[in-house]
């Protein structure tokens, strides 16, 4: 079985005249459905790595394979379609579209995927949206505008949006960075439940070590290199 994620000797340079290396030969593999975090100081290269995993950017050198596909070989259009079909994103800022209701925000990834023109698919996606909203505990605000709900609810809706196309990999960039302690814990619990119940691979980028310590594997990035890649065994401790 192909690796879920395979990153081989990836470097990433920015700039033309003066070049800055954000990543300098990063390599790691995710073989099964894991719940891992990438930690590092600001400017360490962790967000750059997430952008490469999310197909939002291309590596200067090296290869990134997701679900057995060398994504570097894909065209821009194919990468967009891959992102929509197999990846889910949760950002630090919820990035919900204020023009739409909560339910519509959930449905956006399916519309992009083309379900809006298919009556049967539309019925199914609506049902799935209801299930996800209930699962996340925001079913009661489904018809409200995305601007009318609280910050914690917005982030849960953003998680729901990421789940709509049943992604194999969910990428989260500082997902609790904009939340209070209570909502941070709630988001983390949701991630863990989604991982356990749906089998989604999680890659959480964070600088919050408390959050990272609750994941099964921690990859630490420092100065564009992986300084640590450790299994977190404390959860297994009774």
Partner 1 sequence: MDFSKINIEEILFPEMTGWLLAAKIFFVLFNLGVIAFIVYVWSSTVYLRRLFLWDLVEFFTFRAYNVKLIEKDWNKIKKRLLTQNPAQMKLAMIEADLLVKDVLFRIGYPGKDLAEQNGLAPGDSVRLVLADGSTVETVVEGVFDLGAQAANERSVFSGLELASSALGRSTDRVSAVETQIADVFASPEVAASLRTAFPQLTVSEWQAKNSDLLTALQSQSTSSYMIQVFVIIAVMLGIASTLAISAVQKTRQIGILKALGMSDSKTGLVFLYQAGILGVIGTLLGIAVSLALIAVFSSVAKSGDSGLFPIEPRLGFVLLSAGIGIAIALISAIIPYRKTARLDPIQVIQGG
Chain residues that interact with partner 1, rule: CB under 8 A = 47, 51, 54, 56-57, 76-77, 80-85, 87, 89, 91-93, 95, 97, 99, 108-109, 112-113, 161, 173
Helix (H/G/I), strand (E/B), else coil: 83: helix
Nearest distance in Å: CB 98, partner 1: 9
> Nearest to residue 6, comparing CAs of 32, 30, 23, 33?
30
Q: How far is the CB of 86 from partner 1 (least distance, A)?
A: 9
Minimum distance between the CB of residue 234 and partner 1, rounded to whole angstroms? 32
Closest separation between CB of residue 157 and partner 1, Å? 13
Q: Residue for token digits 């990438």?
A: 38
Structure tokens at 219: 């990859």
Quick one: 85 or 222, whose CB is closer to partner 1? 85
In the complex with partner 1, which residue's Cβ is closer, 34 or 173? 173
Name the residue nearer to partner 1 (CB basis): 174 or 214.
174
Residue whose entry in the numeric block shows the structure tokens 């990999």: 169
What secondary structure letter does DSSP report for 71?
G
Q: Which is nearer to partner 1, 81 or 198 (CB)?
A: 81
Nearest approach, Cβ of residue 238 and partner 1 (Å): 40
Closer Cβ to partner 1, 56 or 185, answer by number: 56
Q: Tell me the three state secondary structure of residue 167.
A: coil
The Cα 156–Cα 161 span in angstroms is 9
Provide the 3-class DSSP secondary structure of residue 152.
helix
DSSP letters, 204-226, are EEES-HHHHTTSSEEEEEETTEE
State in angstroms the smallest separation of the CB of 183 from partner 1. Answer: 17
93 versus 227: smaller Cβ distance to partner 1:
93
- Rounded to whole angstroms, the Cα distance separating 231 from 238 reads 16
Question: Which lies closer to partner 1 via its Cβ, residue 115 or residue 214?
Answer: 115
Smallest distance, partner 1 to C-beta of residue 170, A: 13
* Burial track 62-85 (b if 16+ CB lie within 10 A, e otherwise): bebbbbeeebeebeeeebebbbbe
Q: How many residues does the chain have?
A: 238
């Amino acid at each position: 079985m192909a690796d879920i994620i395979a990153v081989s000797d990836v470097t990433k340079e920015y700039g033309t005249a003066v070049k800055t290396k954000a990543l300098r030969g990063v390599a790691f593999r995710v073989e099964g459905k894991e719940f891992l975090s990438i930690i590092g100081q600001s400017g360490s290269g962790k967000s750059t790595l997430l952008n490469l995993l999310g197909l939002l950017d291309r590596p200067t050198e090296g290869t990134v394979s997701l679900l057995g596909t060398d994504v570097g070989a894909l065209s821009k259009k194919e990468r967009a379609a891959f992102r929509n079909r197999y990846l889910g994103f949760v950002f630090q800022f919820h990035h919900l579209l204020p023009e739409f209701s909560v339910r519509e925000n959930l449905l956006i990834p399916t519309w992009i995927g083309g379900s809006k023109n298919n009556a049967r698919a539309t019925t199914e996606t609506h049902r799935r949206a209801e299930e996800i909203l209930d699962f996340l505990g925001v079913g009661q605000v489904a018809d409200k505008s995305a601007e009318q709900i609280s910050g914690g609810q917005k982030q849960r809706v953003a998680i729901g949006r990421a789940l709509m196309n049943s992604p194999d990999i969910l990428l989260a960039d500082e997902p609790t960075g904009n939340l209070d302690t209570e909502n941070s814990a709630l988001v983390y619990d949701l991630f863990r439940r989604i991982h356990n119940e749906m089998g989604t691979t999680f890659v959480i980028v964070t600088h919050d070590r408390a959050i990272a310590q609750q994941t099964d594997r921690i990859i630490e990035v420092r100065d564009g290199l992986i300084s640590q890649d450790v299994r977190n065994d404390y959860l297994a401790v009774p």
